[in-house]
Amino acid sequence: MSVKSRILLSIALLRELHNKIEYYKIVVDNNIRRAEILSKQIGDRKKNFEKEIQSLELLKKRLNSIDIFLENIILKLETFMNLGHAMFFGVVIRELAKELKKLIKGSIPIMEVYLDNLTRISNDLINFAAMESNSTTFASLVPEAKKIIEEAKKVAGIV
């Protein structure tokens, strides 16, 4: 698979991940509404529903932050794709996958499959680009990649 194909595949996976987050936001909203209705109908278990609603609201907030974070990162990555710097693109994807694993941990298991695929693709990109060019080193790109991710986290309100 060519470098451009790997880059396009990683962006496609990120878009799919973003779409999944959008879908889960809708599911969580529906579950919140359902729990609110049930809490009004069933008075004796109202506390259980209130805890469930609080838990769902927290998940919704987390998903909203991840949604904004992904939108921001996807836009930046599309820009990098046009610049044609495969190693930097790979490093950003790799650092992004690490960050998303922390953010998503334990909430939606299928997301980890996407992130594992992104990590694999990013490692391929980094290795391929390293063979192609001796001028840019991996270590010098990691701080820049982390800076981009931190900026996107700030925009998304992720601490």
Helix (H) or strand (E) holding 113: helix 109-132
pLDDT at 35: 87
User: What are the residues whose beta carbons fall under 8 Å from the beta carbon of 6, sequence distance 6 or more?
Assistant: 86, 121, 124, 125, 128
- What is the rounded CA–CA span in Å between residue 156 and residue 159? 9
Q: How many domains does the chain have?
A: 1
Nearest Cα to Cα of residue 88 among 144, 132, 35: 144
Residues 113, 78: contact at Cβ < 8 Å? no
pLDDT beneath 70, residues of the chain? 1, 43, 84, 132-136, 138
- What is the rounded CA–CA span in Å between residue 96 and residue 10? 11
pLDDT at 140: 78
Domain range for 105: 3-156
Q: Please tell me the pTM assigned to this model.
A: 0.80
Q: DSSP label at 135?
A: S
Phi, psi of 133 (to 5 degrees): -135, 135
